[in-house]
Amino acid sequence: MARRIAAGAAYGGGSVGLIGAATVGLVLAEVQLAKRQVGGGTAPVPPSANGRYGVAFAGPTDPLRFVMLGDSTAAGQGVRRAGQTPGALLASGLAAVAERPVDLRNVALPGARSDDLDRQVSLVLADPSGVPDVCVIMIGANDVTHRMPATQSVRCLSTAVRRLRTAGAEVVVGTCPDLGTIEPVYQPLRWLARRVSRQLAAAQTIGAVEQGGRTVSLGDLLGPEFEANPRELFGPDNYHPSAEGYATAAMAMLPTLCAVLGLWPESDHLDGSRREDMLPVAKAASQAAREAGTEVTGARAPWALLKHRRRRRLPAHTEPARRHGVDAADGADGGPPPSGSGATWRPARERP
Protein backbone atom coordinates (compact mmCIF):
# COMPACT_ATOMS: atom_id res chain seq x y z
CA MET A 1 0.00 0.00 0.00
CA ALA A 2 2.83 2.40 0.82
CA ARG A 3 4.42 1.72 -2.58
CA ARG A 4 1.07 2.35 -4.32
CA ILE A 5 0.69 5.66 -2.49
CA ALA A 6 4.23 6.73 -3.35
CA ALA A 7 3.79 5.69 -6.97
CA GLY A 8 0.53 7.63 -7.17
CA ALA A 9 2.31 10.68 -5.79
CA ALA A 10 5.16 10.35 -8.28
CA TYR A 11 2.87 10.02 -11.30
CA GLY A 12 0.19 12.48 -10.25
CA GLY A 13 -2.44 9.99 -9.16
CA GLY A 14 -4.93 11.00 -6.54
CA SER A 15 -7.24 8.03 -6.13
CA VAL A 16 -5.11 5.77 -3.97
CA GLY A 17 -6.50 5.74 -0.44
CA LEU A 18 -4.94 4.53 2.78
CA ILE A 19 -7.97 2.38 3.57
CA GLY A 20 -11.60 2.37 2.50
CA ALA A 21 -13.27 5.79 2.27
CA ALA A 22 -15.99 4.90 4.76
CA THR A 23 -13.41 3.67 7.24
CA VAL A 24 -11.31 6.80 6.82
CA GLY A 25 -14.37 8.97 7.41
CA LEU A 26 -15.13 7.06 10.59
CA VAL A 27 -11.57 7.42 11.84
CA LEU A 28 -11.43 11.11 11.06
CA ALA A 29 -14.76 11.80 12.72
CA GLU A 30 -13.52 10.06 15.86
CA VAL A 31 -10.24 11.98 15.79
CA GLN A 32 -12.10 15.29 15.53
CA LEU A 33 -14.31 14.24 18.44
CA ALA A 34 -11.21 13.26 20.41
CA LYS A 35 -9.61 16.65 19.76
CA ARG A 36 -12.72 18.38 21.12
CA GLN A 37 -12.65 16.14 24.17
CA VAL A 38 -9.05 17.07 24.96
CA GLY A 39 -9.53 20.81 25.00
CA GLY A 40 -10.86 21.81 21.61
CA GLY A 41 -7.62 20.93 19.88
CA THR A 42 -5.91 23.94 21.44
CA ALA A 43 -2.56 24.20 23.16
CA PRO A 44 -0.26 27.02 24.28
CA VAL A 45 1.32 28.97 21.43
CA PRO A 46 4.73 27.36 20.89
CA PRO A 47 7.62 29.43 22.24
CA SER A 48 10.20 30.74 19.82
CA ALA A 49 13.47 28.85 20.13
CA ASN A 50 15.26 30.63 17.28
CA GLY A 51 18.80 31.64 18.06
CA ARG A 52 22.34 30.39 18.56
CA TYR A 53 23.10 27.31 20.64
CA GLY A 54 26.49 26.20 21.91
CA VAL A 55 27.93 29.70 22.21
CA ALA A 56 30.67 28.27 24.43
CA PHE A 57 32.07 26.52 21.32
CA ALA A 58 32.51 29.76 19.36
CA GLY A 59 35.66 29.69 17.28
CA PRO A 60 37.02 30.30 13.80
CA THR A 61 34.47 28.03 12.08
CA ASP A 62 31.04 29.31 11.11
CA PRO A 63 28.03 28.01 13.06
CA LEU A 64 26.05 25.12 11.65
CA ARG A 65 22.79 26.29 10.11
CA PHE A 66 19.86 24.15 11.25
CA VAL A 67 16.20 24.60 10.21
CA MET A 68 13.01 22.96 11.48
CA LEU A 69 10.00 22.68 9.15
CA GLY A 70 6.59 21.08 9.55
CA ASP A 71 3.57 21.26 11.82
CA SER A 72 2.84 21.82 15.52
CA THR A 73 5.17 19.02 16.65
CA ALA A 74 8.09 20.61 14.78
CA ALA A 75 7.14 23.98 16.28
CA GLY A 76 7.01 22.53 19.80
CA GLN A 77 3.35 23.19 20.56
CA GLY A 78 2.31 21.90 23.96
CA VAL A 79 5.26 23.21 25.99
CA ARG A 80 5.78 26.70 27.38
CA ARG A 81 9.56 27.13 27.33
CA ALA A 82 11.87 27.42 24.35
CA GLY A 83 14.35 24.91 25.76
CA GLN A 84 11.69 22.17 25.75
CA THR A 85 10.93 22.33 22.03
CA PRO A 86 12.37 19.64 19.73
CA GLY A 87 14.28 22.25 17.72
CA ALA A 88 16.08 23.53 20.81
CA LEU A 89 16.84 20.01 22.03
CA LEU A 90 18.26 18.94 18.68
CA ALA A 91 20.26 22.17 18.25
CA SER A 92 21.76 21.69 21.71
CA GLY A 93 22.65 18.10 20.91
CA LEU A 94 24.26 19.03 17.59
CA ALA A 95 26.29 21.80 19.23
CA ALA A 96 27.57 19.45 21.93
CA VAL A 97 28.52 16.67 19.51
CA ALA A 98 30.04 18.98 16.89
CA GLU A 99 31.63 21.26 19.52
CA ARG A 100 30.49 24.08 17.31
CA PRO A 101 27.73 26.70 17.58
CA VAL A 102 24.41 25.93 15.89
CA ASP A 103 22.04 28.59 14.54
CA LEU A 104 18.45 27.38 14.75
CA ARG A 105 15.63 28.75 12.60
CA ASN A 106 12.15 27.29 12.97
CA VAL A 107 9.61 27.98 10.21
CA ALA A 108 7.15 25.25 11.26
CA LEU A 109 3.49 26.26 11.56
CA PRO A 110 1.00 24.70 14.01
CA GLY A 111 -1.85 23.16 12.05
CA ALA A 112 0.20 22.90 8.86
CA ARG A 113 -0.33 20.11 6.39
CA SER A 114 2.15 18.90 3.81
CA ASP A 115 0.90 21.37 1.22
CA ASP A 116 2.31 24.18 3.41
CA LEU A 117 5.84 22.82 2.96
CA ASP A 118 6.19 24.68 -0.35
CA ARG A 119 5.77 27.99 1.48
CA GLN A 120 8.09 26.95 4.29
CA VAL A 121 10.83 25.79 1.93
CA SER A 122 10.57 29.06 -0.02
CA LEU A 123 11.16 30.95 3.24
CA VAL A 124 14.20 28.82 4.01
CA LEU A 125 15.72 29.23 0.53
CA ALA A 126 14.87 32.93 0.11
CA ASP A 127 18.50 33.84 0.87
CA PRO A 128 20.76 31.73 -1.39
CA SER A 129 23.80 32.61 0.74
CA GLY A 130 22.15 31.20 3.86
CA VAL A 131 21.24 27.69 2.72
CA PRO A 132 21.00 25.49 5.85
CA ASP A 133 23.42 22.67 6.49
CA VAL A 134 20.62 20.40 7.65
CA CYS A 135 16.84 20.52 7.84
CA VAL A 136 14.41 18.45 9.90
CA ILE A 137 10.83 18.04 8.67
CA MET A 138 8.12 16.72 11.01
CA ILE A 139 4.74 16.48 9.27
CA GLY A 140 1.80 14.18 8.63
CA ALA A 141 -0.66 14.11 11.54
CA ASN A 142 -2.77 16.99 10.18
CA ASP A 143 -2.81 15.37 6.76
CA VAL A 144 -4.60 12.40 8.32
CA THR A 145 -7.02 14.38 10.49
CA HIS A 146 -7.91 16.79 7.65
CA ARG A 147 -8.39 14.07 5.03
CA MET A 148 -5.62 15.16 2.68
CA PRO A 149 -5.21 12.47 -0.02
CA ALA A 150 -2.17 10.39 0.81
CA THR A 151 -0.75 10.77 -2.70
CA GLN A 152 -0.92 14.56 -2.43
CA SER A 153 0.67 14.45 1.02
CA VAL A 154 3.61 12.37 -0.18
CA ARG A 155 4.00 14.44 -3.36
CA CYS A 156 4.27 17.66 -1.35
CA LEU A 157 6.82 16.13 1.03
CA SER A 158 8.88 14.66 -1.82
CA THR A 159 8.97 18.02 -3.60
CA ALA A 160 10.11 19.77 -0.41
CA VAL A 161 12.90 17.25 0.16
CA ARG A 162 14.03 17.54 -3.47
CA ARG A 163 14.17 21.34 -3.34
CA LEU A 164 16.20 21.34 -0.13
CA ARG A 165 18.59 18.64 -1.36
CA THR A 166 19.06 20.44 -4.69
CA ALA A 167 19.98 23.61 -2.77
CA GLY A 168 22.64 21.65 -0.86
CA ALA A 169 20.95 20.97 2.48
CA GLU A 170 20.84 17.59 4.18
CA VAL A 171 17.31 16.51 5.09
CA VAL A 172 15.97 14.28 7.86
CA VAL A 173 12.22 13.59 7.93
CA GLY A 174 10.38 12.57 11.08
CA THR A 175 7.49 10.60 9.61
CA CYS A 176 3.82 10.72 10.60
CA PRO A 177 3.34 9.87 14.29
CA ASP A 178 1.06 7.09 15.48
CA LEU A 179 -2.37 8.66 16.01
CA GLY A 180 -3.75 5.45 17.48
CA THR A 181 -2.69 6.39 21.00
CA ILE A 182 -4.71 9.56 21.50
CA GLU A 183 -6.54 8.66 24.69
CA PRO A 184 -10.17 9.37 23.71
CA VAL A 185 -9.84 7.16 20.59
CA TYR A 186 -11.15 3.70 21.42
CA GLN A 187 -11.17 0.36 19.62
CA PRO A 188 -11.73 -0.45 16.83
CA LEU A 189 -11.03 3.13 15.73
CA ARG A 190 -7.75 3.12 17.62
CA TRP A 191 -6.50 0.26 15.45
CA LEU A 192 -7.71 1.96 12.28
CA ALA A 193 -6.07 5.28 13.18
CA ARG A 194 -2.83 3.44 13.82
CA ARG A 195 -3.09 1.71 10.45
CA VAL A 196 -3.68 5.01 8.62
CA SER A 197 -0.74 6.67 10.39
CA ARG A 198 1.67 3.82 9.69
CA GLN A 199 0.73 3.54 6.04
CA LEU A 200 1.29 7.26 5.54
CA ALA A 201 4.59 7.07 7.44
CA ALA A 202 5.78 4.24 5.18
CA ALA A 203 4.77 6.15 2.05
CA GLN A 204 6.53 9.28 3.34
CA THR A 205 9.67 7.20 3.86
CA ILE A 206 9.65 5.96 0.27
CA GLY A 207 9.11 9.47 -1.11
CA ALA A 208 11.77 11.13 1.08
CA VAL A 209 14.45 8.47 0.59
CA GLU A 210 13.99 8.47 -3.16
CA GLN A 211 14.71 12.23 -3.13
CA GLY A 212 17.94 11.84 -1.16
CA GLY A 213 16.67 12.40 2.37
CA ARG A 214 16.78 10.17 5.44
CA THR A 215 13.82 9.32 7.62
CA VAL A 216 13.28 8.44 11.26
CA SER A 217 9.98 6.84 12.21
CA LEU A 218 8.29 8.77 15.00
CA GLY A 219 5.72 6.28 16.17
CA ASP A 220 7.12 6.85 19.68
CA LEU A 221 5.98 10.45 19.44
CA LEU A 222 2.45 9.20 20.02
CA GLY A 223 3.30 5.51 20.06
CA PRO A 224 3.91 2.62 22.47
CA GLU A 225 5.94 4.59 25.02
CA PHE A 226 3.26 7.28 25.07
CA GLU A 227 0.48 4.72 25.29
CA ALA A 228 2.14 3.16 28.33
CA ASN A 229 2.81 6.49 30.04
CA PRO A 230 0.39 9.09 28.63
CA ARG A 231 0.26 11.35 31.67
CA GLU A 232 3.98 12.16 31.45
CA LEU A 233 4.49 12.04 27.69
CA PHE A 234 1.40 13.94 26.53
CA GLY A 235 0.98 17.66 27.17
CA PRO A 236 -1.88 19.44 28.96
CA ASP A 237 -4.24 19.00 25.97
CA ASN A 238 -3.62 15.21 25.83
CA TYR A 239 -2.83 15.62 22.13
CA HIS A 240 0.57 17.26 21.78
CA PRO A 241 3.64 15.82 23.49
CA SER A 242 4.89 17.10 26.81
CA ALA A 243 8.47 18.24 27.42
CA GLU A 244 9.40 14.64 28.26
CA GLY A 245 7.65 13.47 25.11
CA TYR A 246 9.58 15.88 22.90
CA ALA A 247 12.82 14.81 24.58
CA THR A 248 12.01 11.17 23.73
CA ALA A 249 11.46 12.08 20.07
CA ALA A 250 14.59 14.25 19.95
CA MET A 251 16.73 11.42 21.33
CA ALA A 252 15.41 9.17 18.56
CA MET A 253 16.36 11.71 15.85
CA LEU A 254 19.67 13.07 17.17
CA PRO A 255 21.87 10.13 16.08
CA THR A 256 20.59 10.36 12.50
CA LEU A 257 21.04 14.12 12.48
CA CYS A 258 24.65 13.72 13.61
CA ALA A 259 25.30 10.92 11.12
CA VAL A 260 24.01 12.88 8.14
CA LEU A 261 26.40 15.72 9.03
CA GLY A 262 29.34 13.36 9.49
CA LEU A 263 29.67 14.19 13.17
CA TRP A 264 30.45 10.60 14.00
CA PRO A 265 31.76 7.87 11.69
CA GLU A 266 29.37 5.93 9.52
CA SER A 267 29.90 2.21 9.10
CA ASP A 268 28.80 -0.08 6.29
CA HIS A 269 28.55 -2.86 8.85
CA LEU A 270 24.97 -3.77 9.66
CA ASP A 271 24.34 -5.08 13.15
CA GLY A 272 22.18 -8.18 12.84
CA SER A 273 21.57 -8.26 16.58
CA ARG A 274 19.66 -4.98 16.19
CA ARG A 275 17.81 -6.22 13.09
CA GLU A 276 19.66 -3.87 10.75
CA ASP A 277 19.48 -4.85 7.11
CA MET A 278 19.60 -3.77 3.48
CA LEU A 279 16.11 -4.13 2.03
CA PRO A 280 14.06 -2.92 -0.93
CA VAL A 281 13.01 0.61 -0.03
CA ALA A 282 9.30 -0.26 0.20
CA LYS A 283 9.96 -3.14 2.58
CA ALA A 284 12.35 -1.04 4.67
CA ALA A 285 9.72 1.73 4.86
CA SER A 286 7.03 -0.70 5.99
CA GLN A 287 9.25 -2.20 8.67
CA ALA A 288 10.35 1.23 9.91
CA ALA A 289 6.74 2.38 10.24
CA ARG A 290 6.10 -0.51 12.64
CA GLU A 291 9.08 0.26 14.88
CA ALA A 292 9.61 3.80 16.07
CA GLY A 293 13.10 5.26 16.09
CA THR A 294 14.12 3.32 12.97
CA GLU A 295 16.21 5.14 10.37
CA VAL A 296 15.92 4.53 6.64
CA THR A 297 18.54 5.89 4.26
CA GLY A 298 19.00 5.26 0.56
CA ALA A 299 21.66 2.87 -0.70
CA ARG A 300 21.95 1.45 -4.21
CA ALA A 301 18.55 1.85 -5.86
CA PRO A 302 16.10 0.30 -5.22
CA TRP A 303 17.70 -0.69 -1.90
CA ALA A 304 17.75 1.13 1.41
CA LEU A 305 19.58 0.69 4.70
CA LEU A 306 17.43 0.00 7.74
CA LYS A 307 19.22 1.05 10.94
CA HIS A 308 18.33 1.00 14.62
CA ARG A 309 20.72 3.55 16.03
CA ARG A 310 21.25 3.46 19.76
CA ARG A 311 19.50 6.30 21.52
CA ARG A 312 21.79 8.62 23.38
CA ARG A 313 20.74 10.90 26.20
CA LEU A 314 20.78 14.53 25.22
CA PRO A 315 23.78 16.44 26.56
CA ALA A 316 23.49 19.34 29.01
CA HIS A 317 21.14 21.80 27.38
CA THR A 318 22.29 25.08 25.86
CA GLU A 319 19.83 27.97 25.68
CA PRO A 320 20.15 30.64 22.98
CA ALA A 321 21.92 33.82 24.03
CA ARG A 322 19.70 36.59 25.38
CA ARG A 323 20.56 38.78 22.40
CA HIS A 324 18.50 36.41 20.24
CA GLY A 325 15.40 37.13 22.25
CA VAL A 326 15.43 34.03 24.47
CA ASP A 327 16.20 34.11 28.17
CA ALA A 328 19.53 32.37 28.73
CA ALA A 329 18.61 31.69 32.35
CA ASP A 330 15.61 29.58 31.37
CA GLY A 331 16.91 26.69 33.49
CA ALA A 332 16.24 28.54 36.73
CA ASP A 333 12.70 27.19 37.05
CA GLY A 334 13.53 23.54 36.54
CA GLY A 335 14.66 23.39 32.90
CA PRO A 336 18.07 22.64 31.47
CA PRO A 337 20.86 24.97 32.64
CA PRO A 338 22.59 27.33 30.23
CA SER A 339 25.82 26.33 28.54
CA GLY A 340 28.93 26.75 30.58
CA SER A 341 27.15 26.43 33.92
CA GLY A 342 28.81 23.08 34.60
CA ALA A 343 25.45 21.57 35.52
CA THR A 344 24.02 18.42 34.00
CA TRP A 345 20.30 18.38 33.31
CA ARG A 346 18.02 15.45 34.00
CA PRO A 347 14.25 15.27 33.58
CA ALA A 348 12.34 16.14 36.73
CA ARG A 349 11.27 12.57 37.40
CA GLU A 350 14.93 11.47 37.57
CA ARG A 351 16.02 14.07 40.11
CA PRO A 352 16.47 13.02 43.74
Write the CB contacts of 126 (distance below 8 Å, at least 6 apart in sequence): none
Check: CB of residue 307 under 8 Å from CB of residue 276.
yes
The residue annotated as part of the active site, out of 48, 72, 92, 217, is: 72
Residue type, 54: G
134-138 and 64-70 beta bridge pairing: parallel
The residue annotated as part of the active site, out of 178, 220, 240, 330, is 240
- Provide the CA 213 distance to its chain's centre, in angstroms: 13
Q: Is 308 assigned a catalytic role? A: no
Q: Which amino acid is residue 93, in one-letter code?
A: G
Q: Are 223 and 178 in contact (CB under 8 A)?
A: yes
C-alpha to C-alpha distance for 206 and 298, rounded to whole angstroms? 9
Judge whether 134 and 64 are in contact, CB under 8 Å: yes
Query: How do 214-216 and 170-174 pair as beta strands?
Result: parallel
Instruction: Write down the catalytic residue from 237, 277, 327, 341.
Output: 237
User: Annotated catalytic, 237?
Assistant: yes
What DSSP assignment string belongs to 173-205?
A: EEPPP-GGG-TT--TTHHHHHHHHHHHHHHHHH
Can 269 be counted among the known catalytic residues? Answer: no
d(C-alpha 68, C-alpha 88), whole Å: 10
Show which residues are catalytic.
72, 237, 240
